[in-house]
């Protein structure tokens, strides 16, 4: 009950991302794969309520990084902590790249969304209300009584995102959430997501292979180097929220993008 109340209180706060107080701390992270280092020693701090996107060359271990942070892949050294606590004591939301493999096809969309509440310690009488809240927030125009395979790809990914957010996670991980969607759907889902990212003090880590998208959705862009990966540069994106698609043509946006691209090229060539 207490957790629910504080989460609710948080949601009413006007949250400005505060990167000066690190909430998520990745320190000296080490991961070997096939006899080679993916990371030798990777450090990253993320503030409470901050949205960070991770961008880097192919095979630099972007998805592996959030997998380890979320505790579904084991690392080979180093530590990940959330306000000093282990991942097991934190509410996590995780959106997978492939919604087809991540949703439960035997449950209706609405039951997919409701499912994690039981394990997040939300008492049974409150679950319907929580589902209604998240559905109202997203304002979806399709029937959630349908099964996932009856929905379009974009709708399925929206269901995935709602399922991740319904528990009011302290940290949200998004693993290339748009890569399996066509362009039109990407725009739609991206804008739905943008609306909710700063509603609470939830910290978000987005893995992306699209630089524009990585900048568009983030407070800071973490650029990773080639293997063995480390943080090559962290680029702040001091643009106000909410952001409109027109921002892609904004001079500041273009400058940030050019800068990131320069760093990326240097890291790929190295």
Residues of the shown chain interacting with other proteins in the complex, contacts defined by CB under 8 A: 70-72, 88, 92-94, 96, 98, 101-102, 104-106, 115-116, 119-120, 147-149, 167
* Two structure tokens written together for 176: 């290339």
Angle of the 109-119 helix axis to the 124-138 helix axis, nearest 10: 130
Q: Closer CB to other proteins, residue 115 or residue 248? A: 115
Where in 75-116 does DSSP place strands (E)? 77-82, 92-95
CB of 118 to other proteins, least distance (A): 9
Q: Closer CB to other proteins, residue 71 or residue 78? A: 71
CB of 269 to other proteins, least distance (A): 34
* Two structure tokens written together for 212: 């524009």
- The count of residues in the chain is 270
Residue 229 DSSP label: B
Q: Closer CB to other proteins, residue 94 or residue 216? A: 94
Q: Closer CB to other proteins, residue 26 or residue 113? A: 113
CB of 148 to other proteins, least distance (A): 7
Sign of CA dihedral 231, 237, 241, 247: negative
Pairing between β-strand 220-224 and β-strand 203-207 as defined by DSSP bridges:
unpaired
CB of 123 to other proteins, least distance (A): 16
């Amino acid at each position: 009950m207490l957790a629910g109340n504080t989460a609710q209180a948080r949601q009413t706060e006007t949250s400005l991302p505060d990167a000066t107080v690190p909430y998520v701390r990745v320190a000296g992270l080490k991961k070997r794969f096939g006899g080679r280092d993916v990371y030798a020693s990777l450090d990253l701090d993320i503030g409470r309520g901050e949205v960070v996107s991770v961008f880097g060359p192919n095979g630099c271990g972007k998805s592996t990084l959030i997998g380890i942070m979320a505790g579904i892949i084991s690392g080979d050294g180093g530590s990940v902590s959330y306000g000093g606590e282990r991942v097991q004591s934190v509410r996590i939301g995780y959106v997978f790249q492939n919604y087809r493999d991540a949703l439960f096809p035997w449950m209706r969309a609405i039951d997919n969304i409701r499912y994690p509440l039981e394990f997040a310690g939300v008492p049974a009488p409150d679950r319907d209300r929580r589902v209604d809240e998240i559905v109202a927030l997203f304002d979806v125009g399709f029937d959630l009584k349908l099964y996932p395979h009856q929905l379009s790809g974009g709708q399925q990914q929206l269901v995935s995102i709602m399922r991740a957010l319904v528990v009011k996670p302290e940290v949200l991980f998004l693993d290339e959430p748009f890569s399996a969607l066509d362009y039109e759907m990407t725009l739609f889902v991206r804008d739905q997501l943008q609306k909710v990212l700063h509603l609470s003090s939830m910290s978000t880590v987005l893995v992306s292979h699209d630089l524009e998208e990585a900048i568009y959705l983030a407070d800071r862009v973490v650029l990773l180097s080639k293997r063995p990966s480390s943080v090559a540069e962290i680029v702040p994106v001091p643009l106000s929220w909410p952001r409109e698609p027109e921002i892609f043509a904004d001079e500041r946006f273009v400058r940030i993008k050019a800068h990131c691209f320069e760093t990326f090229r240097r890291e790929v060539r190295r």
